[in-house]
Structure 1
C-alpha cells in the first residue's frame, strides 16, 4: 500500500527548513503532496501561482513530491482527495508544537483514520520562518543560504521591482 503524506502550507516563501522536513519525510513516505495555500492573515510576497511554480522548481529533484494548489476548505478533506494517510507537519519549538498539537487533535476528531506526523526541525533551521525571511529580505539582508537558489532569485527580483515605503512593500 502506497503511503502518501499531505504537507500543507503557504510556503511564502519555501525555506530550506521546509526542504529539510520534506527530505526527511521522504524516507518514511512513498509520496508527499505539497499543498500550497493562501494565508489570508498575512501579506503575501508571491501570489498563489508564483508560489506553486517556485515550490515545484525548488523540489524538482524529489521524484516522490507532487505540488498542488490547496483548494480551500478543510485540509483533512484535501488529504482524503489525494489519498493521504497522514498530514505532515514540521515544528521548530514548543510554541509550534502546542499549535500543531491542537490542530492535530481537531483533525483526529474530524478524521479518525488520518494521522498527523510531526517532525522536529533540524537544529540549524529552528529559528527559520518564512516571515523572518521576508523581513530580512525587505531590509536588504542576504537570505541566499536560507532558501533554494530559485527562490532567492525571485526574492531579489521582487524587492528590486518594489519600492520600500515605511514597513510595506508596494509594487
Structure 2
C-alpha cells in the first residue's frame, strides 16, 4: 500500500490546499494530511480546530484520507505513518526554492521517503492562508479562497478577536 503525507498548518484550509489534497489522494492508496504547528505563522485556530476543519472539508473527497496532528520532524512523522511519499504543493518559484532545499534536507534524514511536488491549479496559485487571515482581519471578502463553511469559521474567529482597521 502506497501511503503519502501532505503536511501543513492549514490555518485555515484553503481551496488551494483542497486542490492539492484531492489530486494527491489520486496518486496514493491512502493520504495522511498532517496538521502541524508552526508558531512563527501565528495560528488563528488551535490544532484541534484545524484538524476538525480539514476532516470536514475533505470528507467529500472519494479517497482514503486520514487527518493526523503532529509536532515532530516531518520525516519522523512520515516514517510513523508508513509513508513512502511526501506531497508538497507549489504556488510560485519562491515556493520551489524553499521546498527544494527542504526536500534535500529531508532526503538526507530519510532517503526511503520521496518528495513529490504538485503545482497548484493556476486559478488557486495566489491563495495563501496567511493572506486569507489578513484579508479577513480587515473585513475583506475571503469566499473566493476558502469554502463557505471555512469562511464562516474565519469570520466568527475574527469577530471574537476583534477586526483590525476599525
The answer to whether the superposition gives a TM-score over 0.5 is yes
How far apart in 2 are the matches of 1:41 and 1:118? 23
Which residue in the other structure is 1:65 paired with? 65
- Listed as ranges, the gaps of 5+ residues in structure 1 are none
What residue ranges of structure 2 are gaps of 5+ in the alignment?
Answer: none
CA RMSD in angstroms comes to 1.4
User: By how many angstroms is 1:40 displaced?
Assistant: 1.1
- Whether contact under 8 Å (1:52, 1:69) holds in the other structure is yes
2:163, 2:144 → 1: CA distance?
A: 23
Q: Contact 2:135–2:141 (CA<8 Å) still a contact in 1?
A: yes
| Counterpart residue number, 2:107 | 108
Q: For residue 147 of structure 1, give the secondary structure of its aligned residue in structure 2.
A: coil
TM-score between both structures, scaled by the size of structure 1: 0.92
CA shift, 1:133, in A, is: 0.2
Aligned residue for 1:3? 2
Matches within 5 A, 1:90-105: 90-105=89-104
Return the alpha-carbon distance in structure 1 between the equivalents of residues 95 and 147 of structure 2: 23
The answer for the alignment partner of 2:163 in structure 1 is 164
Per the TM alignment, residue 145 of structure 1 is displaced from its structure 2 partner at its CA by 2.1
User: SS where residue 41 of structure 2 aligns?
Assistant: coil
* 1:41 corresponds to: 40
Residue pair 1:57, 1:150 contacting (<8 A) in 2 also: no
Which structure 2 residues correspond to residues 75-154 of structure 1 after superposition, within 5 A? 75-154=74-153
Q: Secondary structure at the match of 2:39?
A: coil
Q: Distance in 2 between matches of 1:165 and 1:155?
A: 14
Structure with bigger helix share is: 2
Following TM superposition, by how much is the alpha carbon of 1:33 offset from its aligned partner in structure 2, in angstroms? 0.3
* Deviation by residue 1:42-90 (Cα, 9 ceiling, x = unmatched): 21111111111111111111241110111x2211011011111110000
